A and B are shown apart, each in its own frame.
Chain A
Amino acid sequence: MGTVLLYAALIAGALLSLFPILWMISASFMPTGMANTFPPRLLPDHPTIQHYRDVFTRLSMGRYLVNSGIIAIVVTVLSLIINSMAGYAFAKLRFRGRDGVFRAMSAGLVIPVQVAMLPLFLLMKSLGLINTYWGVIIPSMASIFGIFLIRQYAISIPDDLLDAARIDGASEARIYRSIVLPTITPILATLAIWTFLTTWNDFMWPLIVLSDERRYTLPVALASLVGEHVQDTELMMAGSVLTVLPVVIVFLVLQRYYIQGVMAGSVKG
């Protein structure tokens, strides 16, 4: 009896979690107008891919897909390099001022990003980076959270391993490349997925820094299109599927690394 109730609750929860996502997919295949009927319909009687065609032709969302892809991939690659170097150094290299710098940086974790956004906009404007990919990319390249994540993991690299390489005459750069990076691969995977998802889904800063529609990322474009096309439910659902699908696929394929990282990071932190 207890087990039956348990499963009933679990399945009800799963349905509630999935329903908005499944309805979005279903409505994106409905003929125009069908999503605005009473009683509401779960499935299209005559599925159509017309809205997906329109999303790429009339709304030119292919361009936004490319913009989002470029920005998310560049941020992910650069932030992996930059944060892993810093995280490793804070964990394993002894140098004067290390702990002070680390403490000062950690204090930044309690400052909401919005506080920085207004002067950051002026800074980007003076650098001529408004309306460019770099304007979105640069502020995300280094992340305090990312450095923390790497540092926490890199602390467990045995010092003997690094010292042995030093005695063999390996340079610090070489030690980082051939010993550190292979050892911390699991946490790099977590950070890569985390960064990709956050950058892809990010809204407020791209909204501020991108004003030319041809540079829009998918979330910014979608928020702008919904104003004009609010009646075109099925079309908007196709646009939403296009926006959500890449991150959902990345997550489903790589979830093992991601979930383990989130769980491990939180428990120790």
Chain B
Amino acid sequence: MSSARARIAAKTPEWRAGRAGWLFIAPAITLIAVFFFLPVGASLLLSITDFDLYAVANPANVRLVGTRNYTDLLQNPTFWLALENTFYFALVGGPLTVATSLGAALLVNAKAVRFKTFFRTVYFLPFVTTLVAVAIVWRYLYHPQYGFLNYALGAFGIHPIDWLGDPRWAMPAIILLAVWKNFGYNMLIFIAGLQSVPEDLYEAAALDGAGAVRQFWHVTLPNLAPTFFFVGVVTMIGYFQLFAEPYVMTTGGPLGATTSLVLFMYEEGFRWWRLGVAASIAFLLFLIILVWTAIQLRLERRLAA
């Protein structure tokens, strides 16, 4: 564009709107670029260095080590344990949370139910509470001698379980807390999805003689599919990032049974100051989330076709 035309263009409303657009997004994109994308890029660099406590004191001590952090991790049993625990939590906790959410949504949304908003609020309440605080509450509920859970199970003749002290039970205990804490959010989304299913589809199914169960399978579920995938993707991404629950309840124990990838990353990075190693853990986590999300999206496309 010639300078003369540029000057004419400068007077137009389009030019004004263009300048305004950039000014309006400038604060947000600057902050996001400097405090998110830049560190993400730097993290990749960090992961190919031996950045440690000496480098925190003086950055001149940093050396490039190529893929050594990654290959070391693959030899490290703690990494494999953390990976296994993270998948255990996500693959069991995720579907359990989504199923609980759907169940709660169907109950709250049932036609015969009154006080819908009351139940909706009560079910949603755990989601807004502070995770650290309720994790401490659940620690006491899980107490082998004085906790309510064992007391309640005792009524069914079940012997006391050392929930957070037994490597076999610690992860199920954390999953139970996570389901309780998170199902309310997905429930809201399922309710919104249920309400968007056209009423005449149910009427048509009822005319064809379909009962409640068949209506659920042939009308509700297919129409809920997009909601299902949205909820599934969001829940799994969140669950792969398990951190505060084990940090507060078990510090990763007993015997590493609840050490998650993020907890392992935190310990390596901010307890032992091996930031290079920690960055490579973070990147592997990113990779896992990326691959998992891609699989879920492909599954969605295949089922929708």
Contact = CB atoms under 8 A, between A and B. Distances in A.
A77 interface: no
A-B pairs, top 9 by smallest CB distance, nearest first, are A95-B21, A89-B24, A86-B28, A172-B20, A119-B42, A93-B21, A95-B18, A116-B39, A263-B192
B17 A120 contact: no
Given A142-B27, A226-B136, A259-B120, A112 B17 contact: no
13 contacts: A13-B119, A38-B145, A40-B146, A93-B20, A95-B18, A101-B29, A108-B40, A111-B40, A116-B40, A118-B269, A142-B29, A204-B244, A248-B128
Interface stretch (B68-76, B102-110, B199-207, B214-222): B102-110
Nearest to A144: B32
Interface of B: 13-14, 16-25, 27-29, 31-32, 35-40, 42-43, 46, 56, 104, 107-108, 110, 112-113, 119-126, 128-134, 136-141, 143, 145-148, 151, 180, 184-185, 188-189, 191-193, 196, 227, 230, 237, 240-241, 243-244, 247-248, 262, 265-266, 269-270, 275, 278-279, 282-283, 285-286, 289-290, 293
Given A94-B17, A252-B121, A267-B196, A142 B136 contact: no
A35 interface: yes
A111 B290 CA distance: 8
Given A10-B113, A36-B143, 11 more contacts: A24-B137, A38-B146, A112-B240, A112-B286, A112-B289, A172-B17, A208-B270, A223-B248, A243-B133, A267-B189, A267-B192
A81 to B, nearest CB: 8
Contact of A105 (B29, B122, B244): B29
Nearest to B289: A112
Interface stretch (A1-9, A49-57, A183-191): A1-9
Interface of B is mostly: helix
A97 B227 CA distance: 32
B259 to A, nearest CB: 15
Contacts of B141: 20, 23
A95 B24 CA distance: 11
Interface in A130-174: 138-139, 141-142, 144, 147, 166, 172-173
A222 interface: yes
Contacts of B143: 36
Contacts of A201: 129-132
B29 A255 contact: no
B67 to A, nearest CB: 17
